[in-house]
Chain A
Amino acid sequence: MAVITMRDALNDALREELARDPDVFLMGEEVAEYQGAYKVTRGLLEEFGAKRVIDTPITELGFAGLGVGAAMAGLRPIIEFMTFNFSILATDQIINSAAKMLYMSGGQFKIPIVFRGPGGSAYQVSSQHSQALESWYAYFPGLKVVMPSTPADAKGLLKSAIRDDDPVIFIEQERMYGMKGEVPEEDDFTIPLGVAEVKREGTDATIIARSLMVPAALKAAEELEKDGISCEVIDPRTIRPLDIETIVQSVQKTNRVVIAEESHPFCGVGGEISAEIHEQAFDYLDAPVKRVSAADVPMPYAKNLEQLAIPDFLQIVAAVKEVAYV
């Protein structure tokens, strides 16, 4: 296995899929000549040319809709948002066009498109550039939502997302682009969408975490091990459709749950997972499900305030102790 960064794993996935299927093209702000605002698309213009790696004007609604239209006519667009914060401008096309087209056309027009880019918190970029939007997109039937937490997952899931026939919201984490990990070198390595992974096995409590919170949860699990508390860490990887079976199986074993997320708590994905656990595994719970979320405030700029807004492993440790009554 090669040890590479999340950025390079994503770059490999894009390169392999562009090479594999001539209907795939990549479009977004600064993806071509600038080589990507976060260098995820480095080298792709040179390899695939300006027909397939396309710089756009700053016109998110326009190029998101252009992508959906191109998908209606048989192409497989990858639309990069420089950050998902800017996807807010494109939500009409993502929600009203991409998510609903297959249904309202009575099954005639599938939309095989990937909207991808970094989401969640960055470093001191304040309120408009640091937010987690997965609960918005996961709300809508018709969309799939994927959030990788390792370079291997990033590569395998992105390749599957590009091959999927439905619109996929693929949210990377800006703080994780430089994170290194092992990625299988096998030909055509993919990971199916909709399948959670147990990132660490344990017996006393289940921590459900995604994206940036997965490394935090694993670190918390290590800390808790020292206190004799064995934690299972589950990464759903795909938020919609959610692999609730894997989560429920774990809850049946550990009877205690902490959900860690860097999004706002209110109407969030954590709330949904908690509700599903209550509906499907209530009798197995020995304590109320506990959420660890971002502060319910817009992201502040000041470094100390920002640190207070984003959950860290210590909060997860405290939450596990709370549900374990220790």
Chain B
Amino acid sequence: MSSQRTQRQENSEAAARTAAGVMDEPARKDASDILSEDRDTLLKMFHQMLLIRRFEEKCAESYSLGKIGGFCHLYIGQEAVAVGAISALRPEDYVITSYREHGQAIAKGISPQAVMAELYGKATGCSKGKGGSMHLFDARVNFMGGHAIVGGQIPLATGIAFASKYQETDQVTVCFFGEAAVNQGAFHESLNMAQLWRLPCIYLCENNMYGMGTSAQRAMSMDDVATKACAYELAAEFVDGMDVVAMRRATQRAVERARDHSLPTLIEARTYRYMGHSMSDPGKYRTRAEIEKYQERDPIKLFRAKLEENDLLTEDDVKQFEEQVREEVERAVKFADESPEPAPEELATDVYANPLR
């Protein structure tokens, strides 16, 4: 009883610090120090960010060519969040997210071919062509899906974390969602249960400032998402979502809290999406100047500069990465293009695991 009380107090204090805008000591260190990281790890992250950027640019092109249908939500501008956070996980950890999930899917280890084929509605897609852009799944890498009702994945993540605790594994679940999802009851109900039952779940809010065309300022009574953790005595952190190393470090701390102490964390990553909400959004609710302002702190540009500053990356390396990524994306498009459509019989499969009749 007394140790639980102490934990509650600690959480409360951490949340109060977050509420006051006070950065914890480790968070301050993140901002400058990358030398303690292994070079291979850093370059792998750089490669992933570049791959996601070019992959998404190709998606925009394919969408306008009519190769991709339906809704298509691009991740350009937010790459540091997925890449940094997922770099802090073990392969067996779970990731679940919203409909803007091409980046997380690739970072978690689904091949760009399988993702592109899914977007093309092909049988070789990671959801056999039945899910599309908003419903990428891959059980082999514990990628638990893109979910397309705003906030709907948050209770699911809570349940996945519940299962890990029940099964006594030390797996951690990371749940990505946008800041608009925070206004849904599902978010609040989940945080309450997660803290009440001490579930190893990391709630990672990607605050990209807009819920479709409505700015967060017009939709939230307060500016900071992380502050909301106070209401449930959850540990919380506020992170620069344009800084991939800061994202990695913050997630590592949350992973430790989850894995070693079975406690949830709310992370608010401040980021920005360069493209519209979806491909059909002309973006008239914000100015070009605003977009350009955020592009000055482009996550790939920032990371590249930091790596170069520390002699971890040369211009030649960048050229090589660009070439490698170009080939990977081309391979993905070729694979998607040449793959077969799902067979007509697929229409009626996978409705039931035990169809009965």
Contact = CB atoms under 8 A, between A and B. Distances in A.
Contacts, number: 155
Contact of A104 (B94, B130, B138): B130
Interface residues of B, number: 47
B137 A65 contact: no
B181 to A, nearest CB: 13
Nearest to B352: A166
* Most B C-beta atoms less than 10 A away, residue of A51, A107, A165: A107
Interface of B: 94, 96, 125-131, 135, 137-139, 144-145, 147, 149, 152, 154-164, 166-167, 185-186, 189-190, 192-193, 196, 349-357
Interface of A: 25, 51, 56-57, 59, 61-75, 77, 92-93, 96-97, 101-110, 112, 141-142, 144, 164-166, 192-194, 241, 243
B139 A62 contact: no
A110 B353 contact: yes
By Cβ-Cβ distance, the 7 closest A-B pairs, closest first, are A69-B159, A65-B155, A62-B189, A106-B128, A73-B163, A165-B353, A69-B156
B355 to A, nearest CB: 8
A73 B166 CA distance: 10
A126 B202 CA distance: 42
B164 A104 contact: no
A56 B159 CA distance: 13
B149 A96 contact: yes
B159 A71 contact: yes
5 contacts: A63-B193, A70-B166, A97-B147, A109-B144, A144-B352
Given A62-B158, A69-B157, A72-B156, A193 B193 contact: no
B131 to A, nearest CB: 4
* Most B C-beta atoms less than 10 A away, residue of A73, A92, A93, A144: A73
A142 B352 contact: yes
Given A57-B193, A102-B351, A107-B128, 12 more contacts: A56-B193, A57-B189, A57-B192, A59-B193, A62-B158, A66-B159, A69-B157, A70-B163, A92-B186, A105-B131, A106-B350, A108-B138
Nearest to B140: A108
Nearest to B148: A96
Contacts of B96: 69
* Most B C-beta atoms less than 10 A away, residue of A62, A110, A165: A62
B145 A109 contact: yes
* Most B C-beta atoms less than 10 A away, residue of A64, A108, A166, A194: A108
A144 B352 CA distance: 9
B185 A61 contact: yes
Contacts of A75: 163, 166-167
Given A56-B193, A164-B354, A194-B357, A65 B152 contact: yes
Nearest to A98: B156
B136 to A, nearest CB: 9
Given A105-B135, A106-B125, A74 B167 contact: yes
